[in-house]
Amino acid sequence: MKIAQVLEAMQAGRDMDHPLESVRLYYDLMARYYARIEEAERTHHRPLVILGIYTPIELFYAMDIVPCHAELHAMNAACLGGCQGYFDTAAAYGTPIEACSIQRAMIGMAKGGLLPTPDFIVSAAGVCDSEVKSLEVLVKHFGCPYFLTDMPYQGDPAGVAYYLKELEALVPFLESQTGRPLDWGRLEETVELSRQAAVLYRQVNEARKACPSPMRNQDFFNMCTVYAMMAGTQEAVDYFEVVAREVREQVEGKRPPLRPQERFRLSCAFCFPAFSPELLNWMEQEHGAAIAIDLVNYWRGEEEMDARRPLESLAKKAFYLPLAMPFIGPVENWSRSVIEMGRGYSLDGSIFFAPVTCKEGCATIRILKDRMREEAGIPTLVADCDMIDPSVVSEEELKGKLEGFFETLEAR
Ligand code: SF4
């Protein structure tokens, strides 16, 4: 699926009727994101970068570089149009079938001519080894310049200082690629916009502590996607303002109930099978199972960005950003997050959707499950699946497993 086709799908999503303004806005933002990529590839008026999702996006917006997150695009394309064709192309190239399916889809799309041709690629080593190796395949495929920032294991002061030096080295690389110096005032503005979005994002999380949960299951992934792709833009601030208002009004009883009843409050301790948003809807509507909180949106601590120290703020944020913090460094970061979520959000249970090809994620399952039970008294369901490939475990099989878990929770 080409960029233009995903753009059309996002525009169609935007033009549908939605009960929540934030959902229409989400599609609108994604349409704008894809429109910028499509335009950059067609006109070459602005440089286009393929970006690993752990690289500070604010720096690229500050330099008027158009970002394309190839992994998120591969997920979107696979969920919209199926992934087997991409897997076949990747396998023909030699990518092992044991590799992460998102990475295989991304490589298959590149080899099939379905990714935009970037001017350069930038990534960050620190969270997902598979991503780093896959982006190296893309660098070879496109024959373009590449910059890899190295992230240390710990986000302590020494680790932040090390990563700051990596970002300081990235700046001249970007200047040489764009032919323009970084406007530090503009970077301060983007960091400030990112800070404002993060403040609102945290307000949303605070409101999600309410019973019943003020957010629909099917909407939570939108938030982390918007922040990953658009932090540092006014568009992201506007989006989080709308979400924050909606959840506040929901808590205050100014909006109709989101589900017939709330029988179980659950967390998602990792990701979820993106190929089946309907599964999340079914959990909520058929079983009253609300995802009260989830790991990909959970901000730990109170740290905030300071626009007066923009690069240092970005270096620090790389370690406490929800999508990164649990996965960097020792497993304690992850287990503390799931336990905090369990206590802070009055959970009945937790679900670990386990993508079977994800080494990074699945290695932690036993530790997380045991600690959640021992320290928070909360049971965890581990449901094997794939993020984008329904042929690994089908939606029906997942429903069967979830129903068994709901019976267990009911009996407690
Ligand atoms: S599912 Fe696992 S291996 Fe795949 S991109 Fe995510 S962290 Fe990396």
The domain ranges of the chain are 3-185
Q: Which fold has domain 3-185?
A: Rossmann fold (3.40.50)
Atom of ligand 1 nearest to the CA of 357: 3
| pTM check: above 0.75 | yes
- In the reported structure, the alpha carbon of residue 320 is separated from the centroid of ligand 1 by a whole-number distance in angstroms of 18
In 3D space, the residue among 348, 367, 357 whose CA is nearest the CA of residue 409 turns out to be: 348
> What pLDDT does 277 receive?
87
Ligand 1, atom 8, lies closest to the CA of 128
Q: Are strands 380-385 and 48-51 parallel, antiparallel or unpaired?
A: unpaired
> What pLDDT does 302 receive?
84
Evaluate whether 204 touches 345 at the Cβ level (below 8 Å): no
Ligand 1, atom 4, lies closest to the CA of 100
Rounded Cα–Cα distance for residues 73 and 38 (Å): 13
Q: Which of 53, 83, 221, 358 to mutate to test the pocket of ligand 1 (most atoms within 8 A of CB)?
A: 358
* Residue 292 Cβ < 6 Å to ligand 1: no
* Residue 58 Cβ < 6 Å to ligand 1: no
* Residue 360 Cβ < 6 Å to ligand 1: yes
Evaluate whether 159 touches 324 at the Cβ level (below 8 Å): no
> What pLDDT does 323 receive?
84
* Residue 358 Cβ < 6 Å to ligand 1: yes
Rounded Cα–Cα distance for residues 214 and 226 (Å): 19
Ligand 1, atom 2, lies closest to the CA of 358
**Cα angle value 269/337/276 (rounded, 5°):** 20
Atom of ligand 1 nearest to the CA of 127: 7
Q: Which of 128, 132, 151, 362 to mutate to test the pocket of ligand 1 (most atoms within 8 A of CB)?
A: 128
* Residue 361 Cβ < 6 Å to ligand 1: yes
Q: Which residues contact 255 (CB under 8 A, 6 or more apart)?
A: 246, 249
> What pLDDT does 371 receive?
95
> What pLDDT does 108 receive?
95
> What pLDDT does 185 receive?
98
What are the tens digits of pLDDT across the range 98-140? 999 999 999 999 999 999 999 999 999 888 888 899 999 999 9
Evaluate whether 348 touches 380 at the Cβ level (below 8 Å): no
Q: With a cut of 70, which residues of the chain have pLDDT below it?
A: none
Mean pLDDT value across the chain? 94
SS3 readout for the chain: CCHHHHHHHHHHHHHCCCCCHHHHHHHHHHHHHHHHHHHHHHHCCCCEEEECCCCCHHHHHHCCCEEECHHHHHHHHHHHHCCHHHHHHHHHHCCCCCCCHHHHHHHHHHHCCCCCCCCEEEEEECCCHHHHHHHHHHHHHHCCCEEEEECCCCCCHHHHHHHHHHHHHHHHHHHHHHCCCCCHHHHHHHHHHHHHHHHHHHHHHHHCCCCCCCCCHHHHHHHHHHHHHHCCCHHHHHHHHHHHHHHHHHHCCCCCCCCCCCCEEEEECCECCCCCHHHHHHHHHHHCEEEEEEHHHCCCCCCCCCCCCHHHHHHHHHHHCCCCHHHCCCCHHHHHHHHHHHHHCCCCEEEEEEECCCHHHHCCHHHHHHHHHHHHCCCEEEEEECCCCCCCCCHHHHHHHHHHHHHHHHHC
In 3D space, the residue among 356, 402, 355, 411 whose CA is nearest the CA of residue 380 turns out to be: 402
CA distances from 6 to 38, 301, 326 (A): 10, 36, 30
What φ, ψ does residue 282 adopt, rounded to 5°? -60, -45
Ligand 1, atom 7, lies closest to the CA of 128
* Residue 128 Cβ < 6 Å to ligand 1: yes
> What pLDDT does 137 receive?
95
- In the reported structure, the alpha carbon of residue 387 is separated from the centroid of ligand 1 by a whole-number distance in angstroms of 9
